[in-house]
Amino acid sequence: MMNVKAGIILQRLIMLASAALLSGCTLPFLSGYGANGQSREEFARHVEEVFRLQNQMTSQVMMLLETNDDQNPPSLMQAEQHMQQACADLNEYVSRDIDGLSSGLFLRRRVEKSAIDCEQAALAIKLLLEP
């Protein structure tokens, strides 16, 4: 016979797994991290690269805005706004990490889901900036 404490823990685990499955979330240990099912280390490395790329593109756009006020194409401005939206969860995650704050499960899951979109948005800006 199962003791009461073990029964409560089991019940909570079942509720957590059910909630994750019903919400469309997959558990990282079943499918890996991110859209490509990477290991935790690979995914962390990829997210760091995406963050650096996104920061680099933001810096380049800012420098361009300072030097060429009249010659900035609207497509570049739209792409930059799209990148900021696509990378919002990643930026929030990094900001919280820098400040020593907890990121929470839901924010981490949003970063997992949005990392590829953030990367694609940053690469679109990179293409626009190439001569």
The whole-model pTM stands at: 0.69
> DSSP label at 5?
H
* pLDDT over 60 at 16, yes or no: no
Q: What is the rounded CA–CA span in Å between residue 14 and residue 7?
A: 11
Angle 89-99-28 from CA coordinates, rounded to 5° = 45
What letter represents residue 4's amino acid? V
Give the tens place of pLDDT for each residue, 30-69. 566 666 676 778 878 888 899 999 999 999 998 888 887 5
